Amino acid sequence: MASHTGELTTQPDPAVRVEALHRSFNEAGGVLNGLDLEIAPGEFVALLGRSGSGKSTLLRALAGLDRGVAGHGRIEVPDKVSVVFQDSRLLPWKRLLDNVTLGLRAGDAAERGSQALEEVGLAGRERAWPHELSGGEQQRASLARSLVRDPELLLADEPFGALDALTRIRMHTLLRKLCEVHQPAVLLVTHDVDEAIVLADRVIVLDGGVVRHDARIDLGTRRSQADPAFARLRAELLHELGVEDDHDAAPRRVARAAS
Ligand SMILES: Nc1ncnc2c1ncn2[C@@H]1O[C@H](COP(=O)(O)OP(=O)(O)OP(=O)(O)O)[C@@H](O)[C@H]1O
């Protein structure tokens, strides 16, 4: 386990441990204000919060991508961490297989890269250029690039935010399948409450620079938005985010008009 406070420790459990984390970008105040968080190995956690609440700041801190940002606190993450962003960040001058295996030094890198492409439904596209892929295909390639490293922790910052609704649903199915196979701990930043409920084992809400709400999702594997428990959880989370749920307002109006 690597510690971004400078030390290296060996601690198999939990996968992520954050203690009293502070981060600030200016004198005006902190973005993260003493945040504590643990994520178990293989646990899928969705991170919600209002715009500007510090979700990406937390994710970047866990990824070790915030050197130079003022702050203190303790972060422990596994050695193998992969990050997926909203844009695929494929290098346009490299073919798909070279993008997926970039930086992999193993002798069987090409074989593993092809296998990862197959897993995300891009079998046979090894020699394609990134610009030849659709947005959804590029995000699948980006998932293949992270999974080929067999991460113990997958950090995803709105990975499906730029995709159309149908492609998002397909990507949800794919990500769930990949997580079942590879079992990384996952921290998924999303604005989409339904996406959080569909995918995660647990949802946390960031507010005021700390975890303000922490809810386990016990809806089984087949999650339907039609399930009343799904709707209750959605309303609870939207309330935490300061938004009232009018999801079934229209049917209620119809029912009242008919009575
Ligand atoms: N590099 C930076 N320099 C200065 N301020 C920053 C920087 N990165 C983030 N901030 C500020 O920190 C706060 C939290 O930003 P962050 O991107 O973590 O929020 P977020 O919850 O991910 O927001 P969103 O949901 O809108 O993406 C914001 O007020 C933002 O302006």
User: Could you tell me the CA-to-CA distances from 137 to 39, 141, 180 in Å, in that order?
Assistant: 29, 6, 21
CA R_g for the chain: 20
Give me ligand 1 centre to Cα 157, in Å.
13
Kindly report the pTM of this predicted structure.
0.88
Using CA positions, which residue lies closest to atom 6 of ligand 1?
Answer: 25
Give me ligand 1 centre to Cα 27, in Å.
15
pLDDT, residue 237, reads: 94
Helical segments of the chain, H only: 55-63, 96-100, 109-119, 135-147, 165-182, 193-199, 228-240, 249-258
The ligand 1 atom at the shortest distance from the C-alpha of residue 49 is 21
The ligand 1 atom at the shortest distance from the C-alpha of residue 158 is 27
Return per-residue pLDDT of the chain as tens, 259 residues: 555 554 455 545 899 999 999 999 988 779 999 999 999 999 999 999 999 999 999 999 999 998 888 999 999 999 999 999 988 899 999 999 999 999 888 788 899 999 999 988 999 999 999 999 998 899 999 999 998 988 999 999 999 888 888 888 888 888 998 898 889 999 999 999 999 999 999 999 999 999 999 999 988 777 888 888 899 999 999 999 988 766 554 443 333 333 2
pLDDT, residue 253, reads: 38
pLDDT, residue 254, reads: 35
Dihedral (Cα; 67, 23, 203, 36), 10-degree rounding? 110
pLDDT, residue 4, reads: 59
Give me ligand 1 centre to Cα 58, in Å.
10
Which of 53, 60, 67, 187 has most ligand 1 atoms within 8 Å of CB, for mutation?
53
